[in-house]
Structure 1
Amino acid sequence: VNELYVDDPDKDSGGKIEVNLNISLPNLHCELVGLDIQDEMGRHEVGHIDNSMKIPLNNGDGCRFEGHFSINKVPGNFHVSTHSATAQPQNPDMTHIIHKLSFGDKLQVQNIHGAFNALEGADKLTSNPLASHDYILKIVPTVYEDMSGKQRYSYQYTVANKEYVAYSHTGRIIPAIWFRYDLSPITVKYTERRQPLYRFITSICAIIGGTFTVAGILDSCIFTASEAWKKIQLGKMQ
């Protein structure tokens, strides 16, 4: 059963959304890679390091960044950049692959195929190395309620993106990978329900009825063929 309604389903979250980000930058050293978070509530954090990990790639020439962090339920952004580096590189290369970007609990439920990890596999390795990337996200609250009434909260999202070369006030190019998000007021709810008994009985009756119908058609065909064969045999005898 699917429903749409206007509400904040996860009121016990403290106004926070958990984020999971996994991204590879094969041409940027790990000491240069950082995560910055800011939003309309005044949060402005440069070089977020809690629950994050940097894994060197390509003999240290590249980096895989994995982070688990929370954002407020207000419009804002988080971005991967070199802003927190001690010294800014001359030509930072922001080509990348996004392995995962998800929000809230992970839902592993059969027959629910939503856009919970819409950016999985996004490949920008052939882009302009100095280009900034804007991913514009519309986050949609999603609730799954199982047959026992237990609810799990996750978020789907839609995405649009663009690339551009951005210059600082000094004329330098300082690219970044931006994830700009806003929340949808509409919540999607999936409710697991047992099939009603009457629907099961109706299905059984339909199967039985169909079986009898097919059997009747086959019997009619066999009878017609048998009569035709008898007529042919009588014709030969005459």
Structure 2
Amino acid sequence: MEFSKKVRTFDAFPKVDAQHQVRSTRGGFSTLLTILCGLLIFWVEVGGYVGGYVDHQFSVDKNLNSQLTINLDLIVNMPCEFVHTNVMDITDDKFLAGELLNYAGIHWFLPLGFNINNVNDKHSTPDLDEIMQESFRAEYLSQGLKVDEGAPACHIFGSIPVNQVKGDFHITAKGLGYRDRHHVSKEALNFSHVINEFSFGEFYPFIDNPLDQTGKVTDEKFIAYKYYTQVVPTEYQRLGITIDTNQYSLTESHIVYPTSHNGNPTGVPGIFFKYDFEPIKLKIIEKRIPFFQFVARLATILGGIMVLAGYAYRLYEKLLSILFGKKYVNRDTEKLSGGLLDSERKKKEGEKEDGRTY
């Protein structure tokens, strides 16, 4: 019996004594405002915990890959029979890209929506959601295909392996820059081009790259377009899914070569893609803080809101007292009953009603 009485009177969260409590309209409004702020922050924190956060990490790339793939899909405004493609790197290793790339003769056209004759200087790292939605691997169905090479323009597409060292992939005209039994005449030269795809590593055709959907149109015969790319290996991770890809920054230039006394250009005209690889790796990872850390953080924030609200309310009451006086502050307040003085006052009032005075 004694134990049950103690349990009934036990309070794990002791309340403020009634004689120290005062009700007021301002106090009720501040309490309501504090509760709403607490609920809002609680909602934001729970949403942040469920959604996680994206962490960007840079580290030295420890993966030594001897080769990497260049994926390309472009159109050059010259017949395929006039075009020469090649890869050369700092190891003096030459790779005849024409053996694996596909060449299909078509009529020259400018696709709608392509960025033509503008500087491609706006680049951004794709976010995690975009990569996860667009990361569909693909491969070209054919290699070394050659179709209708005499058509006015040449569609060049495919994937070629290259050494993961500094180098360049270039498209020139036969007889210019390399010895060839064919020599393209000056009148037939036209290095206008549109690029639908240019990427490194595994082929993800739906991921946007700086050179995708761009192009250059010119009437100059001896012009060289040069694209300089800095490739950064990038890894995306979410919920155990890892996507290894490569992104690159881009700068570009072009030069029109003058002709010498015999009418030949002083340089090699063409389209040059120069690439280099950074020794760092970017990891973009979706993380979530541990549950107990989340609970402790939430409790700390909500507790801080309660303390801050108390200080703010007392400061507000103090300012009202200084500006308008205590009477103005106390006019809308109601002191709760239950204290010792209230008990004595009620006792005296009851005695007066009975006609007894002391």
> Is 2:168 the counterpart of 1:118?
no
* 1:190 corresponds to which of 261, 267, 284: 284
- Does residue 41 of structure 1 match 2:91? yes
Larger radius of gyration: 2
Q: Secondary structure at the match of 2:81?
A: helix
Cα distance, 1:16 vs. partner?
1.0
C-alpha contact 1:105 1:152 (8 A) present in aligned 2: no
Q: Secondary structure at the match of 1:136?
A: strand
Is contact 1:137–1:159 with CA below 8 Å preserved after alignment?
yes
| Count of paired positions | 196
**Structure 2: where are the runs of 5+ without partners?**
1-54, 109-150, 306-358
Q: Give the counterpart letter for 2:184 in structure 1.
A: P
- 1:214 match: none
Residues in 2 aligned to 1:3 and 1:138: alpha-carbon distance in whole angstroms = 18
- TM-score normalised over the length of structure 2: 0.48
Does structure 2 conserve the Cα–Cα contact (< 8 Å) formed by 1:147 and 1:194?
A: no
For residues 61-210 of structure 1, the aligned pairs below 5 Å read: 61-83=152-174, 86-91=181-186, 92-106=189-203, 117-126=209-218, 128-148=220-240, 151-166=242-257, 172-173=264-265, 174-194=268-288, 196-197=290-291, 199=294, 202=298
Question: Measured at CA, do residues 136 and 164 of structure 1 come closer, stay the same or move farther in structure 2, by a change above 3 Å?
Answer: same
Corresponding residue number in structure 2 for 1:217: none
Instruction: Give distance in 1, aligned partners of 2:289 and 2:223.
Output: 53
Match of 1:93, as an amino acid? N
Rate the CA distance shift 1:129–1:122 in 2: closer, same or farther, 3 A. farther
Quote the Cα distance in structure 2 between the aligned partners of 1:35 and 1:43: 14
Deviations 1:91-142 (A, max 9, x none): 2110111111001124699xxx8xx611112220146343111111111111
Is 1:53 matched up with 2:102? yes
Q: Counterpart of 1:31 in 2: which secondary structure?
A: helix
Residue identity in the other structure for 1:104: G
Give the corresponding residue for 1:229: none
| 1:142 and 1:153 in contact (8 A); partners too | yes
Greater strand share, structure number: 1
Q: Tell me by how many angstroms 1:2 deviates.
A: 1.2
1:29 maps to 2:79: yes
Q: CA deviation at 1:151?
A: 3.7
Give the aligned CA root-mean-square deviation in angstroms. 3.2
Distance in 2 of aligned mates of 1:61 and 1:130: 19
Give the partner amino acid of 2:285.
Answer: T
Letter in structure 2 aligned against 1:163: H
Residue 41 of structure 1: how far off its partner (Å):
1.2
CA–CA distance in structure 2, aligned partners of residues 87 and 18 of structure 1: 29
- Partners of 2:87 and 2:222 lie apart in 1 by 21
Q: Which amino acid aligns with 2:200?
A: F
- TM superposition score normalised by structure 1: 0.70
Question: What secondary structure sits across from 2:98 in the alignment?
Answer: coil
1:38–1:159: structure 2 CA closer, same or farther, 3 Å change rule?
A: same
Asked if 2 retains the 8 angstrom alpha-carbon contact of 1:95 and 1:128, the reply is no
Cα contact 1:20–1:102 (8 A) shared by 2: yes
